[in-house]
Amino acid sequence: MTLPAAAWCLLLLLGVSQAPTDEATPPSDQSVPSKSAADEATETRTQEEGTKPRVILYPSRLRSINGHLIEEGEGTIKLLDRSGKTHEFDSSLIYALVRLHDVEEPLPAVVHLQDGRIREGLLEEDSFDHVRLKIHGVDHQFARQDVTLVRLLPSFDEEYERLLRELDESNILAHLSLCRWLISEERLPEAKAELERLLGREDNPTARKMLQKIDARLAVQNAKKQNRDPADDRDIKHDSMPDLVTDSDVNLVRVYEIQVDDPPKLRVPAATVQKLFDGYQGSPLLPQDAEGQIAFTKSDPADIVSVMFALRARELYGEIQVLTEPALLSTFRQRIHDNWLLNRCGSRACHGGPEETAGGFRLHWSYRPDDRVRTSNLLALNRLEFDDGKMLNWSHPKQSLLYQYALPRSEASTPHPEVDGWEPVFTPGGAGQRKAYLNWIEQMMGRHHKDWPVDYTPWTPSEPDTEAVSPPAQGSGSDPGQSR
């Protein structure tokens, strides 16, 4: 494999030498009656490879070696190639070192090709021989020698969190730039919140105009939802799929999933803090003097939220602004929902399709799912119950139908019904997906309330003989749990 000089310039500019943060999971041991010395060596090498970063090392522009990085010290690089041979190089003399990405679930990425093309999609595999990228739902495979660089892209929440972390709030132009980026990403509620925060510090005419335009767009969107004429649908077959939850609902679910020891980016308006003082006067958790209350209002939002949780001030939870994803919801998004739930169970050919072919339950499907889609589907999974059990069983997670239906039928105590085209998700090759699900639900179990106080009723078939039983929608007056 060779790379032209121009391609190497691109590699250096875009930082190919950054190491991946995730390491591949070593293959499980296999029991055999006896092992020869060669077998022992092969197994040891396989286990060692599974824990070492995969790289393509170029001793020169015209020569490359594929393998696993054993050692990278001062001035020395050791590599175990695919045949099991060890190579040692002076790091100052090598031409380049390209690190491959270990991908357990599809991730947003950009692939730069030798011919100058740049393709963006979901990275499914970054191997020694090829790169697989899903673009608009279609799998594309590129030979390794045709690829110059594979670069992972941050998610919206990761990028937003970075921008907030680096933002100098005294720099009005930088804050306006952040607002323009949010608008370009069609994140109008977030842009509105940032503009209101900016205007709270300074009456800026540009910010006022931007806020007016956003308010107008949001008003049009809300009017379309509320004032749609049913007569417009007289020639369209009615789909009984419930509406997605609102942005406010998404925010409220995020509030209940805040981990105070690892909080996301938060904001608590001063007016909300004042309501806290007014509603919980005399609480030893709140300062009673004016000076202390001013200091409390300006303190870290995570500390304020922690006090609100301790007081169980649920009537104010909806006013907490959760600007980035809590850790457990981020895991649900990356490792479960956008990884296999929507692509497999929730595909258009399965439970994400029309009601005629969806079976006993339906999920909201979108090519580019947003937080409203994910939250609606999480609520549906949590509230659906069938004769065979619950889709999400917090008391016995491995009895959850979501878990059982993802297993091979031979391993499941409640196997997925016989359906043409169905394939298990948790196969031996999908051990990482199974582990991610179990880790996620175990963490949720350790702190989880019974439900979220969001009004949403999952879709169920209209036939009277359906097995599905949908619980009543959870309104704002429900008690979502024990601790909050």
Same domain membership, residue 440 and residue 372? yes
- Show Cβ contacts of residue 344 under 8 Å, excluding neighbours closer than 6 positions: 350, 423, 425
Is 50 exceeded by the pLDDT of residue 136?
yes
Structural domain harbouring 145: 107-153
> Over pLDDT 90: what percentage of the chain?
35
Residue 183 lies in a domain: yes
Same domain membership, residue 411 and residue 300? no
Is 50 exceeded by the pLDDT of residue 49?
no
Same domain membership, residue 124 and residue 80? no
Residue 232 lies in a domain: no
Residue 164 lies in a domain: yes
Asked if residue 35 lies in contact with residue 70, where contact means CB atoms within 8 angstroms, the answer is: no
pLDDT (tens digit, 9 = 90+) per residue, 230-284? 544 444 344 578 889 999 999 999 999 999 889 999 999 999 999 999 999 999 9
Same domain membership, residue 377 and residue 439? yes
Same domain membership, residue 388 and residue 376? yes
In whole numbers, what is the pLDDT of the chain averaged over residues?
79
Provide the pLDDT for residue 351.
64
Long-range contacts of 296-302 (CB under 8 A, 24+ apart): 297/270, 297/273, 301/266, 301/267, 301/268, 302/260, 302/263, 302/266
Same domain membership, residue 438 and residue 364? yes
Residue 479 lies in a domain: no
Final residue of a structural domain among 282, 306, 322? 322
Q: How far, in Å, are 122, 154, 252, 308, 382 from residue 258 at the CA level?
A: 28, 22, 10, 12, 18
Residue 475 lies in a domain: no
Same domain membership, residue 336 and residue 315? no
Final residue of a structural domain among 256, 291, 322? 322
pLDDT (tens digit, 9 = 90+) per residue, 177-216? 999 999 887 888 889 999 998 998 889 999 999 999 999 9
Pick from 35-39, 83-87, 117-121, 176-180: least confident:
35-39
Is 70 exceeded by the pLDDT of residue 118?
yes
Is 80 exceeded by the pLDDT of residue 153?
yes
Alpha carbons 375 and 379: distance in angstroms, whole number:
6
Residue 244 lies in a domain: no
Residue predicted with more confidence, 439 or 467:
439
Same domain membership, residue 314 and residue 417? no
Q: How many CB atoms lie within 10 A of CB 414?
A: 16
Final residue of a structural domain among 99, 118, 139? 99
Pick from 174-178, 296-300, 413-417, 459-463: least confident:
459-463
Considering its fold, how many domains does the chain have in total? 5
Provide the pLDDT for residue 237.
44
Same domain membership, residue 441 and residue 333? yes
Region 347-375: what's the mean pLDDT? Answer: 71
Provide the pLDDT for residue 350.
65
Is 80 exceeded by the pLDDT of residue 477?
no
Same domain membership, residue 427 and residue 342? yes
pLDDT (tens digit, 9 = 90+) per residue, 337-354? 887 787 666 555 566 556
Same domain membership, residue 428 and residue 395? yes
Q: How confident is the model at residue 318 (pLDDT cuts 50, 70, 90)?
A: very high
Provide the pLDDT for residue 46.
43
Report the run of H or E that residue 173 belongs to, with start and end: helix 172-184
Pick from 31-45, 146-160, 260-274, 275-289: least confident:
31-45
Pick from 1-5, 27-31, 297-301: least confident:
27-31
Region 371-399: what's the mean pLDDT? Answer: 88
Residue 473 lies in a domain: no
Is 50 exceeded by the pLDDT of residue 219?
yes
Provide the pLDDT for residue 443.
85
Q: What φ, ψ does residue 171 adopt, rounded to 5°?
A: -95, 100
- Give the CATH number, domain containing residue 48: 2.30.30.100
Provide the pLDDT for residue 466.
43
Is 90 exceeded by the pLDDT of residue 285?
yes
Same domain membership, residue 188 and residue 86? no
